[in-house]
Amino acid sequence: MDFRLTEEQLALQETLRRFIARDYDFERRRSLARSPLGYSAQAWAQYAELGLLGLPYPEEFGGLGGSGVDVMAVMELVGQGLLLEPYLSTVVLCGGLLRDAAARALKEALLPQIAAGKLKLALAAYEAAGRYELAHVAATAVRDAQGKGWRLSGRKSVVLDAPSADYFLLSARSSGRQTDAEGISLFLVRGDAPGLTLQAYPTQSGGRAADLDLQDVPVDADAVIGAPERALPIIERAVDQGIAALCAEALGIVTALNEATLNYLKTRKQFGTVIGSFQALQHRMADMFIAAEQTRSMAIIAATEAAGDQPAARRRAISGAKAYIGRAARFVGQQAVQLHGAMGVVDELNVGHYFKRLTMIDMTFGDAEHHLARFSDALRVEALGAAP
């Protein structure tokens, strides 16, 4: 076993750290979050130059052939810098999905474009009534009259990074009941396709998202990714990789919050002494330190298992990590705010923004309790065999 990052990974992190210090300080980040685009187009171009946008793709598709741990190294810094660019949606979720499941021609067409920073995608897989269940798909896909392409109708809710996406990867159903695992296909849909409307809004942690409404949106037959009516496993696998990336982002934030809080405990004075001299706060800070170490371990598990093609083993790792980190990060986030007193609840300080981002990470792709339930259900199957 080896738990260290490689020289290259450390160098990559150092590059990003310098980039954040120079081009992405807290004030800059705040003004970007308020801008119409919601992120920095310039930063996106810089990521492309650094190779970050092609990091997890094979070299033949313009990538660097990076691993889950490489992505983890990047996402940790995305967390620390509270970076707003649609890296998760474009590079990890959609690019990852195309890499794992798309036909070769499509990969050749799209992955190099993503790596070059010329193409952005968003995953439209969740629907309001499904909560965190990806198999809940009410949107429909119907063969068009000529029997060549498809017509898509329905709604997708809270599609992250939708407003800036050139394409969507969108799930729709052509058979089965609303909650069946079978019958779901995944389509590549142009952002400007006729019949597709976006209701865009900012998110609580500074990003952008939208609800999608589709009415008879035409797509070609070759816009189907993976096997028709059997797309759920590839969507789940992509989301699992997205979750691993979110876990690493949470790790970056937890680390940053602990650093800020520890610093505050050492400098904020009340009752004639630094508040870090109060034992109640010392123990709290010790618990936060432990939570961060445990978070790192879980983020490593997630990063190394996310690409696994055994769904059961992967679910155990990913749901386990999301559940554990969700709770650990909730604790650290809430306590970082608490220990900053009123300073913790103001918009002017980064602590509150870290806390909000951690909260939104927990709420994305299943909160801690959702994943604990999945983990626990898997445990039951392990013990008793598959449910009747």
Partner 1 sequence: MDLNYTAEEEAFRAEVRAFLAAELPADIRSKVRLGRRIHKDDFVRWQKILYRRGWGAGMWPRRYGGADWSVVEQHIFDEEGAAAGAPPQIAFALRMVAPVLMSFGTAAQQNYFLPRIISGEHWWCQGYSEPGSGSDLASLRTSAVRAGAHYRVNGQKTWNTLGQYADWIFCLVRTSSDARPQQGISFLLIDMKSPGITLRPIITIDGEHEINDIFFDNVQVPVENLVGEEDKGWTYAKFLLAHERTNNAGIGHCQRALKRLKEIATRQSENGRPLIEDSRFRDRIAELELDLMALEITNLRVLAAVASDSRAPGPEVSLLKIKGSEIIQQLAELQMHALGHDALPYLREALEVDWVPPPWLADHYGAFAPPLTGQYFNYRKTTIYAGSTEIQKNIISKLILGL
Ligand X SMILES: Cc1cc2nc3c(=O)[nH]c(=O)nc-3n(C[C@H](O)[C@H](O)[C@H](O)COP(=O)(O)OP(=O)(O)OC[C@H]3O[C@@H](n4cnc5c(N)ncnc54)[C@H](O)[C@@H]3O)c2cc1C
Give me the residues that bind partner 1 (CB under 8 A), please.
126, 128-133, 135-136, 155, 157-158, 160, 178-179, 199, 201-205, 209, 211, 213, 269-272, 278, 280-281, 334, 337-338, 341-342, 344-348, 352-353, 355-356, 359-360, 363-364, 367, 369, 372-373
Q: How far is the CB of 147 from partner 1 (least distance, A)?
A: 30
Beta bridge partner(s), residue 152: 141, 217
* Nearby residues of 296 by Cβ (< 8 Å), 6 or more positions away: 251
Q: Supply the minimum distance, in Å, between the C-beta of residue 344 and partner 1.
A: 7
* b/e map 166-196, b = 16+ CB within 10 Å: bbbbbbbbbeeeeeeeebbbbbbbebebeeb
φ and ψ at residue 379, rounded to 5 degrees: -60, -40
> Between β-strands 224-225 and 269-270, what pairing exists: parallel, antiparallel or unpaired?
unpaired
Distances (CA, A) of 318 to 97, 299, 368: 16, 9, 11
- Under rule CB under 6 A, how many of the chain's residues touch ligand X? 12
**Nearer of residues 288 and 339 to ligand X, judged by Cβ:** 339
Binding residues for ligand X restricted to 139-178, rule: CB under 6 A:
none
Nearer CB in complex with partner 1: 105/280: 280
Which of 140, 178 has the CB closer to partner 1? Answer: 178
Provide the 10 A C-beta neighbour count for residue 274.
Answer: 15
- Output 311 or 341, the one with its CB closest to partner 1: 341
Considering the complex, what minimum distance in angstroms separates the CB of residue 352 from ligand X? 11
Nearer to ligand X by Cβ, of 204 and 270: the residue is 270
- The CB-nearest residue to ligand X is 341
Decide whether 20 or 275 has the Cβ nearer to ligand X: 275
User: Residues with Cβ < 8 Å from 78, sequence gap 6 or more?
Assistant: 87, 88, 248, 249, 252
Q: How far apart are CA 116 and CA 227, in angstroms?
A: 28
Which stretches of 24-88 are DSSP H helices? 26-34, 41-50, 68-81, 87
State yes or no: residue 271 binds ligand X (CB under 6 A).
Answer: yes
Non-local (6+) Cβ contacts of 168 within 8 A are: 121, 122, 123, 124, 159, 162, 188, 189, 191, 212
- Work out whether 275 is an interface residue with ligand X (CB under 6 A): yes
Asked whether position 274 contacts ligand X by CB under 6 A, the answer is no
190 or 268: CB nearest ligand X: 268
Pairwise CA distance, residues 388 & 379, whole Å: 15
Q: Give the chain's end-to-end CA distance (angstroms, integer).
A: 39
Amino acid at 241: Q
User: Which residue's CB is nearer to partner 1, number 6 or number 215?
Assistant: 215
User: Applying CB under 6 A, does 286 fall inside the site for ligand X?
Assistant: no
C-beta of 263: minimal distance to ligand X in Å? 13
For β-strands 167-173 and 121-124, DSSP reports them as parallel
> Which one among 65, 202, 311, 341 touches ligand X, defined by CB under 6 A?
341
> Of the ranges 3-11, 147-155, 236-244, 266-274, which one interacts with ligand X (CB under 6 A)?
266-274
Binding at 179: pick from ligand X, partner 1, none (beta carbon under 5-8 Å per type): partner 1
The one segment of 39-47, 338-346, 350-358, 363-371 that binds ligand X by CB under 6 A: 338-346
Interacting residue ranges for ligand X, rule: CB under 6 A: 268, 270-271, 275, 278, 280-281, 338-339, 341-342, 345
